[in-house]
């Protein structure tokens, strides 16, 4: 038997239970969840890569087939309308097979227009969850992406089932293979483009299959937070390499970053090692019941200490934080929830009604203020970069704390980020990335 079968059964039972509570609360008869429709490129006859509605792939590991529809009703087997066009231009998806299909009443549609007739005649007490909202109106849906329903689903999605954790362990495993191949390509002095090819080849995932555009950055480029340019030629002098790249499995993402110094012994190489120690140390402090914001603020104290220890800035940790010096070197959040989306929704939710807790004013890039509880999966990704536009925007008193000669020394190396994906359990923290042996 497929080892996913029992895990998936429990997963489905959890989703069913959650949905029944929701429907009861909202006085709804059911949910209609649409996978999505292809998006056409302006003035073109081709579509953007298809990305399935995350609510759809929460129920079924079908990530590459538009026009499919799920019908979820209490005490009834869920129905999947599975799109299989007659098409000689494109590959037609095979009929679904595998551990999950027995749980569904699967009906094949050859045309998107056939879906409506296979749904209940009267959908006025059903909520539609999906992107094609015009279609929902044509279908006579009672509600379309209603906020109370979305809030409930987004809040609860943070608590992963054992099936989801199993998928995320595999997504991590695939990404770690890619990271190892990419690291070897870097030390083999390949270009960013060739390192990207080595990564994709080792993961056997195309660039539209990995969960986000890989960040493959050599030297100064590693200080560009969302760098995706991929230079075709390797720089003459290699100094550093930052790789932020994940993988997908059954619709779930991993998100991993590593930074390498080309030569050991430099201040940069030592700073990478020290950041690695701090990243592991902060993961060690995670406990259920903590607010993610607490961890983020603690990381600023650790970054302040690194700035002093490595001679980039001088001053007390309090002053370096209060004057925005740590934020200039570490301008992004410590991390985010991850799952069906690499930046999983619901990071600011404090309850299932969607009560929002904003990030502290001085930390607008923080994407998660949730209280950590068992079942949550988060990234922990501290960084430290030389970003001139941020340093030059500092106040005069903050600039007075900077040591420009050390900053000048580190600028050609760009920056550092080290990112793992961790699971909060009741009695321990599981590190999905390090458990696979990636240093």
Residues annotated in the binding site for Mn(2+), as ranges?
Answer: 244, 255, 336, 381, 419
Nearest approach, Cβ of residue 234 and Mn ion (Å) = 23
Residues 318-337 that bind ligand GLY (CB under 6 A): 336
The count of chain residues that interact with ligand GLY, using the rule CB under 6 A, is: 6
Residue nearest to ligand GLY (CB): 244
Residues 417-436 that bind ligand GLY (CB under 6 A): 419
Distances (CA, A) of 159 to 102, 139, 211, 292, 373: 25, 32, 20, 15, 8
What tokens does 393 get? 């925007």
Whichever of 79 and 379 has its CB closer to Mn ion, that residue is: 379
- Binding marks (x or -) toward ligand GLY, 35..54, rule CB under 6 A? --------------------
Residues 224-283 that bind ligand GLY (CB under 6 A): 244, 255
Q: Which does 323 bind (CB under 5 to 8 A by kind): Mn ion, ligand GLY, none?
A: none
Nearest approach, Cβ of residue 125 and ligand GLY (Å) = 39
Residues 378-397 that bind ligand GLY (CB under 6 A): 381
Whichever of 352 and 381 has its CB closer to ligand GLY, that residue is: 381
Among 50, 47, 46, CA closest to 64: 50
Q: Which does 183 bind (CB under 5 to 8 A by kind): ligand GLY, Mn ion, none?
A: none
Which residue positions form the known binding site? Answer: 244, 255, 336, 381, 419
Whichever of 72 and 165 has its CB closer to Mn ion, that residue is: 165
Interface with ligand GLY includes 344 (CB under 6 A)? no
Phi first, then psi, for residue 423 (nearest 5°) are: -110, 130
Q: Residue 102: beta bridge partners?
A: none
Cα–Cα dist 434/8, whole Å: 25
Place of tokens 């539209």: 208
Q: Using alpha carbons only, how large is the chain's radius of gyration in Å?
A: 24
Contact 347, 371 (CB under 8 A): no
Interface with ligand GLY includes 151 (CB under 6 A)? no
Among 296, 255, 277, 241, CA closest to 416: 241
DSSP 105-126: EEEEESSGGGTGGGS-S--TTE
Q: Which does 212 bind (CB under 5 to 8 A by kind): Mn ion, ligand GLY, none?
A: ligand GLY
DSSP 404-427: HHHHHHHGGG-EEE-BEEEEE-SS
Interface with ligand GLY includes 212 (CB under 6 A)? yes
Among 156, 171, 159, 166, CA closest to 25: 156
Whichever of 257 and 293 has its CB closer to Mn ion, that residue is: 257
Which positions touch ligand GLY (CB under 6 A)?
212, 244, 255, 336, 381, 419
């Amino acid at each position: 038997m497929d080892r996913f079968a029992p895990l998936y059964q429990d997963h489905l039972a959890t989703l069913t239970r959650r949905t029944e509570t929701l429907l009861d609360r909202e006085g709804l008869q059911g949910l209609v969840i649409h996978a999505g429709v292809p998006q056409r490129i302006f003035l073109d006859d081709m579509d953007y890569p298809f990305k399935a509605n995350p609510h759809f792939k929460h129920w079924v590991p079908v990530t590459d087939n538009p026009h499919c529809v799920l019908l979820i009703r209490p005490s009834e087997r869920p129905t999947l309308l599975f799109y299989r066009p007659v098409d000689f231009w494109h590959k037609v998806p095979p009929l679904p097979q595998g551990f999950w299909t027995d749980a569904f009443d699967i009906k094949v549609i050859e045309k998107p227009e056939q879906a409506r007739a296979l749904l209940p005649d009267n959908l006025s007490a059903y909520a539609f969850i999906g992107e094609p909202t015009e279609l929902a109106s044509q279908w006579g849906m009672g509600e379309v992406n209603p906020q109370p329903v979305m809030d409930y689903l987004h809040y609860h999605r943070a608590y992963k089932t054992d099936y989801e954790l199993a998928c995320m362990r595999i997504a991590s495993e695939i990404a770690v293979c890619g990271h190892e191949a990419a690291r070897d390509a870097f030390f083999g002095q390949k270009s960013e483009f060739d390192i990207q090819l080595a990564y994709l080849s080792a993961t056997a995932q195309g660039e539209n299959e990995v969960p986000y555009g890989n960040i493959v950055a050599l030297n100064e480029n590693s200080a560009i937070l969302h760098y995706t340019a991929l230079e075709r030629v390797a720089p003459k002098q290699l100094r550093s390499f930052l790789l932020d790249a994940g993988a997908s499995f059954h619709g779930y993402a991993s998100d991993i970053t590593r930074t390498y110094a080309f030569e050991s012994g430099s201040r940069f190489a030592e700073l990478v090692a020290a950041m690695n120690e701090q990243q592991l140390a902060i993961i060690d402090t995670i406990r259920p019941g903590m607010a993610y914001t607490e961890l983020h603020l603690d990381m600023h104290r650790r970054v302040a200490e690194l700035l002093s220890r490595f001679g980039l800035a001088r001053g007390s940790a309090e002053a370096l934080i209060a004057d925005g010096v740590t934020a200039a070197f570490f301008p992004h959040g410590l991390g985010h929830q991850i799952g069906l989306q690499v930046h999983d929704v619901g990071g600011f939710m404090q309850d299932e009604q969607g009560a929002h807790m904003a990030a502290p004013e001085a930390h607008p890039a923080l994407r998660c203020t949730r209280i950590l509880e068992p079942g949550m999966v988060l990234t922990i990704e501290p960084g430290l970069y030389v970003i001139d536009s941020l340093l030059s925007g500092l106040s005069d008193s903050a600039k007075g704390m900077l040591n420009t000669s050390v900053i000048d020394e580190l600028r050609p190396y760009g920056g550092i980020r080290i990112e793992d994906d961790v699971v909060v359990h009741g009695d321990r923290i599981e590190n999905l990335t390090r458990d696979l042996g990636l240093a």
